[in-house]
A and B are shown apart, each in its own frame.
Chain A
Amino acid sequence: NAGVTQTPKFRVLKTGQSMTLLCAQDMNHEYMYWYRQDPGMGLRLIHYSVGEGTTAKGEVPDGYNVSRLKKQNFLLGLESAAPSQTSVYFCASSYGGLAGGPSNEQFFGPGTRLTVL
């Protein structure tokens, strides 16, 4: 099993360009998440999904859109990139929700390092 994979691993964009980050998981998890991680700050939730065809906003959703057309894939889109979106983006998945218990362990992908110039 590959677990959670992300593409691309690195990307440099110019301000105003668009791109899509792809996350895939092969663990049949219902829940998927997109986070960003910035120096000195904890992981912040951008959007999440509780199942195929559903998405919801997290803590910092502005400037991002997501789609979950297939259970195993969760896409993060930046329509018009800004320098403030320079960050490391992590995708994660989990079997359960976050009400507690070991089934709520989140499995993370290796991350995408995005720089917006």
Chain B
Amino acid sequence: RKEVEQDPGPFNVPEGATVAFNCTYSNSASQSFFWYRQDCRKEPKLLMSVYSSGNEDGRFTAQLNRASQYISLLIRDSKLSDSATYLCVVSFYTGGFKTIFGAGTRLFVKA
């Protein structure tokens, strides 16, 4: 089982739609969680950190469920510019740090 798993998609949604991605992780000692965004042939960039109580940044909402070991990203009112690959990132420290990137979920927003 992969340490961080994501549905690769692609998710094809119309503009204005709401779309949600989940990401599961296997290490229960995981401490930090992030969503990164990666545009085609570009570098990843931090979209948002994920806090235990859940957090929102404009149209984006991130949730953490430690009991079921998954994090989620909800995008409301999708824009064409949201088309990208969304990477789930999980970090933990066990005598040395370890950060695991998911393979990503591709999103295409259509006009």
Contact = CB atoms under 8 A, between A and B. Distances in A.
Asked if A and B bind, the verdict is: yes
Nearest to A44: B101
A88 B98 CA distance: 21
Interface residues of B, number: 23
Contacts of A98: 32, 91, 93, 97-99
B74 interface: no
Interface string B70-103: 0000000000000000010001010011111111
Contact of A100 (B31, B44, B46): B31
Contacts of A77: none
Contacts of B34: 105
Given A99-B93, A101-B32, A43 B43 contact: no
| Interface residues of chain A: helix, strand, loop or mixed (majority) | loop
Contact of B46 (A41, A106, A109): A106
Contacts of A99: 31-32, 91, 93, 97
A108 interface: yes
Interface residues of A, number: 22
A43 B44 contact: yes
A100 B32 contact: yes
Given A35-B101, A108-B43, 12 more contacts: A40-B8, A42-B103, A43-B44, A43-B87, A44-B101, A56-B96, A90-B44, A98-B99, A100-B32, A106-B44, A108-B44, A111-B43
Interface of B: 4, 8, 31-32, 34, 42-46, 49, 87, 91, 93, 96-104
